[in-house]
Amino acid sequence: MPRPDVITGADMLTETAYAKINLALHVRGRRADGYHSLESLFVFAADGDLLRAEPAQKLSLTIEGPFAHGLESGADNLVLRAANALRERAGIANGARLVLDKRLPVASGIGGGSADAAATLRVLVHLWALSIEEVDLIDIALSLGSDVPACLGSRTQWVGGRGEQLRDMQLEGLGRMPMLLVNPRIPLSTGPVFARWDGVDRGPLEPSDLAALIEQGRNDLEPAAIMLAPVIADVLAELRAQPGAQLVRMSGSGATCFALFADKAARDRARAAIAAAQPAWWTMATEISER
Ligand code: C5P
């Protein structure tokens, strides 16, 4: 069972659905089941969506927050799908009142929906006092989406396979590194981006340190995502132009891009400059979580 991150109030639990960032994403091949085999370094931001849960007779979901308009709260929502999958596996019919504060842009390559699903599993295991094996939880997580197993622990991890091979990994100097996220407010679905990958295996991801990650790491989905949303090239160029930006790349299937900085002042200056130049873009100043 992953370490919970639950703030306990009077009968209410709150869990953060940490934003997931792929510091590198190498696509190695197409699989017979329609998915792609990947090698990726996942890190998690210190910030994300917030999920509150309290006991109730029935299962319900309310969505609020700046990106609530981009999501339906019906049975298809990953939060409710996660809750239902957990109930089914545990053989229970417990209820819960769930409130999702949607702070991350939807369909943006930073795992919003996957992190929400993982946070739901974490919070409901506690609310319902379930004892469930970690392998079962990972199995439920994978049934909800390829990124959900990694989001369960929300730790820095090397991720392989379709998303189910997880290995904790620490790179010297990465912990608490200031990070800027920028999204041009163009939603991108994951499937169509993968479908435009050119099929060329450009090699494995084996970063020994941050310098190697910067030099040898790639996001193989960048060209495909730029085909669908050319503005991503502008986001990358803006980030690369910022003084102090050490690593600039797209996360996941886009359109969110990130930059890592050695210090917070440089990150905050970059955020202010980009917000002034491109006021319509979404920006978030955060840092890599040390969990
Ligand atoms: O697993 P998830 O539902 O998040 O994936 C969404 C879509 O992204 C899949 O239907 C598939 O088209 C693509 N995908 C992929 N290979 C992966 C993960 C996702 O092709 N490893």
Rg (CA), the chain: 18
Residue keyed to tokens 């197993």: 149
Q: Which CATH fold would you assign to the domain 171-287? A: Alpha-Beta Plaits (3.30.70)
Nearest to 19 by CA among 155, 109, 110: 110
**Tokens 């409130």, residue located:** 99
- Catalytic-labelled residue, pool 47, 49, 116, 147: 147
Write down the pTM of the prediction.
Answer: 0.95
User: Which residue among 190, 196, 219, 221 has the greatest number of ligand 1 atoms within 8 angstroms of its CB, and so is best to mutate?
Assistant: 190
Choose one of 140, 143, 146 to mutate for the ligand 1 pocket test, by most ligand atoms within 8 angstroms of C-beta.
146
What fold is seen in the domain 7-167? Ribosomal Protein S5; domain 2 (3.30.230)
Distances (CA, A) of 16 to 9, 11, 44: 15, 17, 11
Q: What is the mean pLDDT of residues 226-252?
A: 98
Q: Where are the domains of the chain?
A: 7-167, 171-287
Whether omega for the bond prior to residue 229 falls within 30 degrees of 0, making it cis, is no
88-137 pLDDT per residue, tens? 999 999 999 999 999 999 999 999 899 999 999 999 999 999 999 999 99
Whether 99 and 243 have beta carbons less than 8 Å apart is answered as: no
What is the DSSP pairing of strand 59-64 with strand 96-101? parallel
Q: Could you report the per-residue pLDDT of 155-178, keeping only the tens digit for each?
A: 999 999 999 999 999 898 898 999
Q: Is 168 a catalytic residue?
A: no
Phi, psi for residue 244 in degrees, rounded to 5: 90, -5
Catalytic residue among 20, 47, 49, 220: 20
Our answer to whether residue 147 is catalytic in this structure is yes
